[in-house]
Amino acid sequence: MVAITEEQVRELAGYRGELAPVTSCYLDVDGARWVRHSDVVRELDRLLRAARGRQNGDRSVASDLRRIEEHVKGGLDRSRTRGLAMFSCSAHDLWRVIELPVPVRSQVVVNHAPCVGQLEQVIDQYERFGVLLVDRQHARMFVFELGELVESTEVFDQLPRGDDDDHSYTKDQARDHAAARARQHLRHAADMAFAVFQDQEFEHLILGASDDLAADVEVVLHPYLRERLVARCNVPLYAGDDEIRRAALEVESGVERAKEAEVVGRLREAVGAAGRGVAGVDATLAALVERRVETLVVSSGYTDMGWRCGNCRWIGRIGRTCPVCRREMDQVDDVIEEAIEDALGQSCKVEMCVGNADLDVLGRIGALVRY
Ligand SMILES: [Zn+2]
């Protein structure tokens, strides 16, 4: 499975269908929810029926919908794919399928540009994580991407036997020797972790080690890894991949929620201090139109109807005449999606927040602004 990157999402967000609109289809194909392929097909049929009802006879869109239908009905390997994102613009020969190991919300959107909000959310929510499990003679290292295991490796350093037959050894010598072997093992573990990092760079590291070992491991970690160390976990060294994955995801979502809370905290202060932050949909869209946004902060799942000016690109909730250029605008199903797309196009950071009550109080959307 090819992982989706921030650059790819931005590139998609910048794509424009000049001759015909772009059809974006997200499909939840999660095997836990849709056991049989026919269940997925039924869900797709429901989506396509609604989309065809709205397409207004555009031939390119009709052909997009057919292509999407053929792709899904042609069979899917769902062993590692839980969500599909498909982007089509037949008039321009655009066809992109992105398989995601995480679930998505099924939706079809026909618009002048690809609808990338959900992809952006996936990237924002699932960073690359390393997990290092260490005991006195064994170390295992894992890397997870989008919640999936992408790398695992291990080292084993046999401990010397506790009771040494060699009587020329004093007890002190034996103790020193054992301590040196232990240090050497931790150094092997740290070297392995760094080698994995150099090959499969990750944002965060989770360390699983007993309390008495953890401090010694931290000391020998490469500084790049030490600065990425975000949490400890209590997963046993010989745990199965799935148990390790679940523990990593749990830590990861905790880290992500904390990051979101920090951004929302900064937003609250900035809004209070007047000038450096805006809150609520109208003020936020206005700041985006003025290209003042540094970080867009959006509550996950928030949608709103609105308008887009095809001429000067103004977006807002009130139509139908553009307040800037006085042309007639197009109504859009989800102006929040448009806002995310504009923010990506303007190289803003986008922070999607899950269940953050403080952001909901601020109006479910806001922005840290440059001036
Ligand atoms: Zn306009």
Please report, to the nearest 10 degrees, the dihedral formed by the alpha carbons of residues 313, 316, 322, 323 taken in order. Answer: -110
* Dist. CA 329 → ligand 1 center (Å): 7
* Dist. CA 57 → ligand 1 center (Å): 26
Residue 248 forms part of a structural domain: no
* Dist. CA 94 → ligand 1 center (Å): 27
Q: What does the pLDDT read at residue 54?
A: 77
**Least confidently predicted of 19-23, 103-107, 284-288:** 103-107
Cis peptide before 320 (omega within 30 of 0): yes
User: Whole-model pTM?
Assistant: 0.77
Nearest alpha carbon to residue 215 among 150, 125, 276, 134: 134
**Does one domain contain both 290 and 329?**
yes
* Dist. CA 323 → ligand 1 center (Å): 7
Residue 196 forms part of a structural domain: yes
How many domains would you assign to the chain?
Answer: 3
Give the pLDDT confidence of 144-165 residue by residue, as tens digits: 988 788 889 998 988 766 555 5
Residues 6+ apart with CB under 8 A from 244: 131, 133, 142, 149, 235
**Does one domain contain both 165 and 209?**
yes
* Dist. CA 331 → ligand 1 center (Å): 13
Give the domain CATH number at 31: 3.30.960.10
Give the pLDDT confidence of 310-359 residue by residue, as tens digits: 899 999 999 899 999 999 999 988 899 889 988 988 889 989 888 899 99
Q: What does the pLDDT read at residue 261?
A: 96
Phi, psi of 111 (to 5 degrees): -155, 170
d(C-alpha 120, C-alpha 115), whole Å? 10
Any idea what DSSP says for residue 228?
Answer: T
Q: What is the mean pLDDT of the chain?
A: 89
Containing 245, the helix (H) or strand (E) segment is helix 241-272
* Dist. CA 339 → ligand 1 center (Å): 15
Phi, psi of 57 (to 5 degrees): 70, 15
Residue 100 forms part of a structural domain: yes
Sheet with 306-308, side-by-side order of all strands = 315-316, 306-308, 330-332
**Does one domain contain both 136 and 116?**
no
Containing 250, the helix (H) or strand (E) segment is helix 241-272
* Dist. CA 129 → ligand 1 center (Å): 44
* Dist. CA 315 → ligand 1 center (Å): 9
Give the domain CATH number at 164: 3.30.420.60
**Does one domain contain both 70 and 168?**
no
Residue 285 has pLDDT above 80, yes or no: yes
Residue 280 forms part of a structural domain: yes
Domain boundary (124, 142, 172) is at 124
Tokens of 127: 């960073």
* Dist. CA 67 → ligand 1 center (Å): 33
* Dist. CA 332 → ligand 1 center (Å): 14
To which residue do tokens 């867009």 refer? 296
Give the domain CATH number at 365: 3.30.1330.30
* Dist. CA 326 → ligand 1 center (Å): 6
Tokens of 305: 């109807």
**Does one domain contain both 12 and 76?**
yes
**Does one domain contain both 231 and 274?**
no
Tokens of 265: 């905290």
Residue 85 forms part of a structural domain: yes
Residue 79 has pLDDT above 90, yes or no: no
* Dist. CA 305 → ligand 1 center (Å): 17
Question: For residue 155, what are the domain limits?
Answer: 129-239
**Does one domain contain both 94 and 19?**
yes
Task: Report percent pLDDT > 70 for the chain.
Answer: 96
Residue 3 has pLDDT above 70, yes or no: no
Helix (H, G, I), strand (E, B) or coil at 155: strand
Phi, psi of 136 (to 5 degrees): -70, -20
